[in-house]
């Protein structure tokens, strides 16, 4: 009788467990204002592409969380503890899209931002006094920070996807200036070295910008007052470009959550 009772309890437990819906995976977005501007609600007509990415996914099957924040570099997104908060929630089956570079070219230790990183993807570092945090800090290369995000995401069982930064409205010889030779190339190099997925968002978007012909037309169509921040139409174009790049990653399981 006792064994039969235990068997019934075990069976009931298994049935209850089976009836619970499986936890949805989450796609986390990390980056700067070109991914999420301000609170992500279009202040001053500026939008990041991350505000429109969820529209392309079946959100009954996957959650999309935009943790990007304006003004951050690959360094300060980490040092402010923002990555650690995501890591504490990251679980097997999740995804992380990362796009940094626009703010990494700044000074290492100025009193305004102190957000710059060393150029390249090497292991070089420089110890500085950070006048904002009022602490000593070891600053690394752009590639070092990107590798850290990729490795730690993988260690949690998540899938990292590295993106090259969206291009600015800057032209040379009738073409949008690409990110080749700097952050766009370095992002690709990190992804290749770490066997991570890579979307060349810089090139995908640049080709679409080129088609408009010049800086004035591009600004009127997709940008606001500066050459970096997009309006709603520009952000939507960039979100569509992210999906275009994702579809090219045939083996990436994130594709199964994209709307048909």
Say if 105 falls within a structural domain: yes
Contact present, 115 and 72 (Cβ < 8 Å)? yes
Split into its structural domains, the chain has a count of: 1
HEC assignment per residue over 190-234: HHHHCCCEEECHHHHHHHHHHCCCCHHHHHHHHECCCCCCECHHH
Say if 49 falls within a structural domain: yes
Range of the domain at 227: 25-116+146-253
Say if 191 falls within a structural domain: yes
CA dist., res. 242 & res. 68, Å (int):
15
Query: Which domain CATH number covers 107?
Result: 3.40.50.1110
Contact present, 130 and 137 (Cβ < 8 Å)? yes
For the chain, count helices (H), then strands (E): 9, 9
Say if 197 falls within a structural domain: yes
CA dist., res. 129 & res. 29, Å (int):
30
Say if 19 falls within a structural domain: no
Say if 126 falls within a structural domain: no
Neighbours of 213 (CB within 10 A): 11
Q: Which residues are catalytic?
A: 33, 226, 229
Say if 260 falls within a structural domain: no
CA dist., res. 31 & res. 187, Å (int):
13
Say if 6 falls within a structural domain: no
Handedness of CA 101, 103, 105, 107 (dihedral sign): negative
Tens of each residue's pLDDT in the chain, 260 residues? 445 544 444 444 444 344 344 699 999 999 999 999 998 988 889 999 999 999 999 999 999 999 999 999 999 999 999 999 999 999 999 999 999 999 999 999 999 999 999 999 999 999 999 999 999 999 999 999 999 999 999 999 999 999 999 999 999 999 999 998 899 999 999 999 999 999 999 999 999 999 999 999 999 999 998 999 999 999 999 999 999 999 999 999 999 999 98
Looking at the chain, list the stretches that DSSP marks H as alpha helix, in order from N- to C-terminal side: 2-19, 50-53, 76-79, 82-87, 142-155, 183-193, 201-210, 215-222, 232-247
DSSP state of 128: E
Q: What is the pTM of this model?
A: 0.91
CA dist., res. 161 & res. 246, Å (int):
9
Contact present, 157 and 91 (Cβ < 8 Å)? yes
> Coil, strand or helix: which one is 77?
helix
């Amino acid at each position: 009788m006792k064994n039969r009772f235990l068997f019934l309890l075990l069976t009931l437990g298994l049935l209850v467990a089976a009836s619970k819906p499986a936890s949805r995976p989450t796609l986390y977005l990390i980056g700067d204002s070109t991914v999420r501007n301000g609170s992500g609600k279009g202040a001053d007509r500026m939008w990041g592409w991350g505000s429109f990415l969820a529209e392309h996914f079946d959100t009954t099957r996957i959650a999309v969380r935009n943790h990007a924040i304006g003004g951050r570099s690959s360094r300060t997104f980490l040092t402010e503890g923002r990555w650690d908060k995501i890591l504490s929630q990251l679980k097997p089956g999740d995804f992380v899209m990362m796009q940094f570079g626009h703010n990494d070219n700044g000074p290492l230790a100025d009193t305004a931002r102190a957000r710059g990183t060393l150029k390249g993807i090497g292991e070089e570092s420089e110890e500085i006094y950070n006048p904002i945090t009022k602490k000593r800090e070891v600053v690394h290369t752009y590639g070092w920070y990107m590798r850290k995000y990729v490795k730690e995401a993988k260690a949690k069982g998540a899938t990292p996807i590295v993106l090259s930064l969206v291009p600015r409205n800057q032209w040379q010889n009738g073409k949008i200036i690409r990110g080749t030779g700097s952050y766009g190339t370095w992002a690709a190099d990190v992804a290749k070295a770490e066997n991570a997925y890579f979307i060349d968002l810089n090139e995908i978007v640049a080709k679409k910008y080129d088609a408009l012909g010049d800086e004035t037309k591009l600004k009127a169509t997709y940008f606001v007052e500066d050459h970096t921040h997009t309006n709603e139409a520009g952000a939507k174009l960039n979100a569509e470009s992210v999906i275009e790049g994702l579809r090219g990653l045939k083996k990436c399981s994130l594709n199964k959550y994209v709307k048909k």
